[in-house]
């Protein structure tokens, strides 16, 4: 299956990614040394931002002749770490095989898009874990893995119930390098259409959910708004926690709510990020922030990329667009009862709201 990208485009992308990876490695090295001047960090960050933007622009313009029916074709993958031994092509083949099998026999297995990312954590900077990738996760399990030194943690989206968001992730600490975490994402977030959470109560205190509820379009959203509030609370908390980091150097600060299940503490969003949010109808992705591995792929082709900047896409179910856009206001229950959420993959990547300019 061809994804529509020309060879030149692919090459261009890979070159950009490579440059970005190198820049990130450089930054890691610099951040290790205490003697790195502040300006170096900032320069590197700006360098990375430039890469981000370039990649974004490239992808927004899309592959040549690509039909944009699927909306955004790809997000820029996040936080590529080292290029070390990433089994890119193997994974690609694997994904391809899976996909073929999936097409041939409609296996009723729940195969969600899955990709892994690696996050390195500066252990001494008070950062406790790789966990803040911009989404609200709820831990639901932990398991000792055979042959692994550290247990694996299982997280699901906080909004699984209320918004039928089936994104999950697994966090596995690396054996040899305890500062390295491998995070496997499964499924994508569909929780952002929590609509009217835009009014960011600048006071995170327990405002009455009921009041907001009247603002909410539906009746069954009571619990939802409650969770939203808690998310907002989390946002604020995290935002303050992370202030110590290098993130301070970043010119853009986000209104700390607004994005569904997204947390917005990744303050080094670039302008392109803002554009994203707008284009995607409030469905931002924490692109590329080195601290935010959550890099959602939104691609028309199930396996457009196999190894994109350190993010290994393992396989991806073909995207089924269940278009509950803002027009449909009660999509959750509908999906809940009429469709198997897993099989249908209620993810609605983006119905290309952004492409009509």
Partner DNA sequence: CCCATTTGACCAAT
Partner DNA sequence: ATTGGTCAAATGGG
Q: Which residues contribute to the site for DNA (CB under 7 A)?
A: 109, 137-147, 152-154, 156, 158, 168, 170, 186, 226-227, 230
Comparing CB distances to DNA, the nearer of 207 and 329 is: 207
Comparing CB distances to DNA, the nearer of 184 and 289 is: 184
Minimum Å gap between C-beta 202 and DNA is 19
Comparing CB distances to DNA, the nearer of 209 and 301 is: 209
DSSP-based three-state secondary structure for 176: coil
Minimum Å gap between C-beta 6 and DNA is 36
Q: Residues of 249-272 as b/e, b for ≥16 C-beta within 10 angstroms?
A: bbeeebebbbbbbbbbbbbbbbeb
Minimum Å gap between C-beta 236 and DNA is 13
Structure tokens that stand for 182 in this block? 């491998």
Minimum Å gap between C-beta 143 and DNA is 4
Comparing CB distances to DNA, the nearer of 40 and 207 is: 207
Comparing CB distances to DNA, the nearer of 105 and 146 is: 146
DSSP-based three-state secondary structure for 7: helix
Residue 219 CB neighbours (<10 A): 8
Minimum Å gap between C-beta 213 and DNA is 13
Asked if residues 268 and 246 have their Cβ atoms less than 8 Å apart, the reply is: no
3-class SS shares of the chain: helix, strand, coil, % to 5: 40, 10, 50
Asked if residues 216 and 225 have their Cβ atoms less than 8 Å apart, the reply is: yes
């Amino acid at each position: 299956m061809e994804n529509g990208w020309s060879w030149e485009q692919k090459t261009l992308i890979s070159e950009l990614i490579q440059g970005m990876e190198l820049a990130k490695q450089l930054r890691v090295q610099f951040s290790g040394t205490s003697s790195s001047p502040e300006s170096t960090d900032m320069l590197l960050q700006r360098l990375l931002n430039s890469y981000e933007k370039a990649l974004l622009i490239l992808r927004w313009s899309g592959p040549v002749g690509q039909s944009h029916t699927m909306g955004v074709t790809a997000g820029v993958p996040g936080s590529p770490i080292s290029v070390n031994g990433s089994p890119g092509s193997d994974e690609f083949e694997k994904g391809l095989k899976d996909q073929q099998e999936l097409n041939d026999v409609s296996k009723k297995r729940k195969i969600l898009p899955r990709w892994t990312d690696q996050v390195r954590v500066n252990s001494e900077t008070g950062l406790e874990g790789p966990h803040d990738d911009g989404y609200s996760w709820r831990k639901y399990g932990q398991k000792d893995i055979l042959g692994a030194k550290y247990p694996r943690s299982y997280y699901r989206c906080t909004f699984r119930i209320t918004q039928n968001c089936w994104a999950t992730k697994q966090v596995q600490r690396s054996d040899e390098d305890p500062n390295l975490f491998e995070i496997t994402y499964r499924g994508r977030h569909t929780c952002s259409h929590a609509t009217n959470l835009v009014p960011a109560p600048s006071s995170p205190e327990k405002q009455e959910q009921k009041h907001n509820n009247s603002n909410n379009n539906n009746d069954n959203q009571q619990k939802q708004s409650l969770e939203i509030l808690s998310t907002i609370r989390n946002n604020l908390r995290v935002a303050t926690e992370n202030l110590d980091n290098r993130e301070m150097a970043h010119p853009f600060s986000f209104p700390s709510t607004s994005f569904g299940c997204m947390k917005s503490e990744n303050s080094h969003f670039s302008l392109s990020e803002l554009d994203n949010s707008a284009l995607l109808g409030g469905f931002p992705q924490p692109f590329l922030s080195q601290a935010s591995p959550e890099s959602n792929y939104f691609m028309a082709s199930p396996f457009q990329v196999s190894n994109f900047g350190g993010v290994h896409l393992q396989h991806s179910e073909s995207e089924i667009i269940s278009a509950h856009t803002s027009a449909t206001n009660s999509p959750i229950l509908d999906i809940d009862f009429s469709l198997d959420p897993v099989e249908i993959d209620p993810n609605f990547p983006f119905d290309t709201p952004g492409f009509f300019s």
